[in-house]
Each structure stands twice: as structure tokens, then as C-alpha cells.
Amino acid sequence: MTGKPELLCPAGGMEQLKTALHFGADAVYGAMQRYGLRAFAGNFDRDGMEEAVRLCHACNARFYLTLNIFPFDDEIPGMLEAAGEAREMGVDAVIVSDLGAICELRRHVPQLPLHVSTQASTVNASAIRHYASLGCRRVILAREVSLERMRGIRRAIPVDMELECFIHGASCVAWSGRCLLSAQLTGRSANQGACAQPCRWKYALMEEKRPGEYLPVAEDEHGTYLFSARDLNLCGALPQLREAGIDSFKIEGRMKNAYYIAVVTQAYRRAIDTLAEDEAAFREILPEIRNDLECASHRESDTGFLYGPPQVPGDAEGFHQTREVLGRVTADGNDGWVEMEMKNRFFVGDEVELMKRSGTEKARVREIRIPRTDQSVESWGIGGERVLVLLGLTARAGDMLRGPVRNHRM
């Protein structure tokens, strides 16, 4: 394969979408209020969807709409109506899981490009050739497909059929995310977009004749996580994935906040661009990329099924991060002062990092000024407050300031 793979980033709402675009996403995927598998993300109403598509196209990026629930018969008419609206708005493709939905969309909205979701559990070339015969343009491979099998699939399918795979983010303890656990325990179906994530809950073992006596299983100070899968992190495998013929590198995270989107988008943007220029240079910066990815909230990670069976779930005990967001830059500035909206407390003298699309610059906080009172302070901790920070750096609206994680949060 030649060219540079697409960097596809999640957007649970408008703030995340703008962040993904600012830090270099080639494409963004998100949902309307219904028919997507993340019902509890902010998602987009009709006006928001139109604005999202407009913003993406203004940045020469693409917007993919998730219509990837498994619809019952009574839900299909509404899904078709939503797809028709999406086509009118200029959505670049819709992501669909169900075979019946694919057939109905092809029949009723034939001009709308279709991508087959990872929820379809596609693991072989025969299935992909069938989707191609139905007019689908891309297949997002199941997470269970190994690198060697990806290579074989690429050789066995039409050259114009695109392949996409996940490279980063949370993984479900289920076959390609198709899980019954949430529906069984809470009545909220993951396959209808309402997952309660019971695989992430804390569990303890209780012996039948010892009621109320909870026995620890792989327990640490954070709790006991019997079913919690490790996150996926394939930053070191990008050269092999490119060589295997993967057209789009996808980041999971429509439930994540804007800071998470900024960190992972910036890291993978830099990795992909460097790899396109020189693989040796990519190898040199890979330790920095790994360190950058540690800055956002994440569970312990591994490479999933890429090189064979993954590590056994049950040791991903909650979240970790090495940096926290301090604020978002709200105006361009080149005089050393950075105008930003506060997120977390910081102090004069702190060593901080200004995150830009091109990379991260370190600086020390020289002064903090509150514009509404024209007051200089040693520290500030009011979320949403507009502040001026003297860093001696040039910044653009949309950049982010981050610093060390403190115990106190706003």
C-alpha cells in the first residue's frame, strides 16, 4: 500500500470534534441522538450534525456517522429517515453493523457510502467480498483479527475495498463488542447503544457457606477487576499495519473528554506523519509517543490480538494518567501571554506543557492574571474562568495547557 493511512478520531460531542480537528484528525466519527452505539455520549442533534459536517469539510476532513445499533424491524424506518437526513447534510459515510440495515440503506439511500462496523465481527475475506458486492466501501475489521490475517485478507479482497482497524482505546470483554452482560444485569443493551459497562465494575468472590465474607481475587489498592480488559495500544505497530494494507487507523473513545482526544490525536498525528517520511525517524520518536499517550487517562494497555492471544482480562485496575489538562487556549497570541479557559488549578512557577498540533512545548508559568479584575495571582482554581498566563510562547486558539496531576481537582 502507498500513501498515508487515515487518522480517524472519535467525537462524542462538539468540543471533542473541534479538538480532534485542531490536533490533526483526517476524519471524525460521531452519532446523532439515536441509532449509534454510544447513547450516553453527548452526540449531535440535527443542527449540531450540520455544524459538525461543515467544520470537518472546512478542515478538509471527513465526518462518518455511526448508525451501528442492531435495529429491530420497528426501528428501521427511523434509521432510514436519519440516513436520508445525513446524506442531505453531506455526511461522508455511515457506519453500519447489521446486514438488514445495510440492505435497506442501499435500497433507500443508494448514494450514501457505507462502512461496515467492527460490530459486524468481520474476520475473513469472504465476508468482505460479500459486503463489497452489496456496495459497501469499507470494512472495520473485528478486533480479533491478527496482523498476519490482516495481510491475508488484504491480498484476497478487491483493491478498492478499504480496510480500517482500531489502534487505540478501550476494548470490550465480548466478541467485537457484541456483549449481553449489560442487558442481562441492568436491562441496558450494549447492542442498542446503552451499555452500563458491568465488565468494568469491581467484583469480589464469595463462598456459598460463608455469606457476606468477600474473598479478594487479584485485588490491589484500587479494587478487584475480574473482567476488565486492558486498553488497546498499537502505536508501535503502525509500520506493520500500514504494510498490511490498512487504510484507516481508528481511535476508540466517543465517551472520552476533549483532553483525551487532544492527547491521542496529537500523538498519532505525529507518529503517522513521521512514519510517512522515514521509518527510522519514527522508531526514534516512538518512546516519546508512548510517553505522550501516558498523559491521558487510560487503563493498562497491550496489543490485543494483533500478535496472537492477548493477556487475560482482569488486571486493568482503573485509570492512570501522568498529566492533567490545565486549560484550553481561547485566542491566538504571539506576545508570550496565553489566554485560556481554566480547567484545573496550577501555580506560578509550575513547569507546564503547551500542546499544539505540531508538538508540545515546555515552559514555566511566570505570571497568572485574571482579566476581569486585572489582578495577578499565585494560583487560580475556578473552572471556566478566563485567565492570562505568561509562558513566553506563541499559542493558537484550541491549543491546550497541561501539567502535573494534583490531588485537588476543580
Residue 167 sits in a domain whose CATH number is: 3.20.20.70
Domain boundary, last residue among 269, 302, 335: 302
Shared domain for 327 and 263, answered yes or no, is no
According to DSSP, the β-strands at 138-140 and 114-116 are parallel
So what's the pLDDT on residue 312? 57
So what's the pLDDT on residue 32? 87
Shared domain for 51 and 126, answered yes or no, is yes
Shared domain for 265 and 141, answered yes or no, is yes
Going from the C-alpha of 155 to that of each of 93, 142, 311, 394, the distances in angstroms are 24, 17, 29, 47
Shared domain for 238 and 387, answered yes or no, is no
CB-CB contact of 272 with 250 (8 Å) = no
> What rounded mean pLDDT belongs to the chain?
88
Cell numbers describing residue 97: 453493523
pLDDT in tens, 271-317: 999 999 999 999 999 999 999 999 998 888 889 889 987 665 555 55
CB-CB contact of 56 with 28 (8 Å) = yes
Q: How many domains does the chain have?
A: 2
168/86 Cα distance (integer angstroms): 27
State the pTM of this model.
Answer: 0.88
Domain boundary, last residue among 250, 270, 302: 302
Shared domain for 273 and 171, answered yes or no, is yes
According to DSSP, the β-strands at 379-380 and 346-347 are antiparallel
So what's the pLDDT on residue 1? 39
Residue 214 resides in a domain: no
Phi, psi torsion values for 320, nearest 5 degrees:
-140, 150
Going from the C-alpha of 307 to that of each of 114, 136, 151, 221, the distances in angstroms are 29, 28, 12, 31
Torsion sign (Cα): 341, 347, 349, 352: negative
> Which residues, given as ranges, of the chain have pLDDT below 50?
1-2, 409-410
As to burial, measured by CB atoms within 10 angstroms (0-12 exposed, 13-18 middle, 19+ buried), residue 218 is: exposed
CATH code at 344? 2.40.30.10
Residue 310 resides in a domain: no
Shared domain for 155 and 264, answered yes or no, is yes
Shared domain for 292 and 359, answered yes or no, is no
Residue 216 resides in a domain: no
Shared domain for 108 and 237, answered yes or no, is yes
So what's the pLDDT on residue 390? 97
As to burial, measured by CB atoms within 10 angstroms (0-12 exposed, 13-18 middle, 19+ buried), residue 212 is: exposed
So what's the pLDDT on residue 256? 92
So what's the pLDDT on residue 410? 42
Shared domain for 346 and 271, answered yes or no, is no
Shared domain for 37 and 105, answered yes or no, is yes
Phi, psi torsion values for 329, nearest 5 degrees:
-70, 130
pLDDT in tens, 150-184: 999 999 999 999 999 999 988 777 666 667 677 76
Torsion sign (Cα): 205, 206, 207, 208: negative
Residue 189 resides in a domain: no
Full residue range of the structural domain in which residue 171 is found: 6-175+228-302
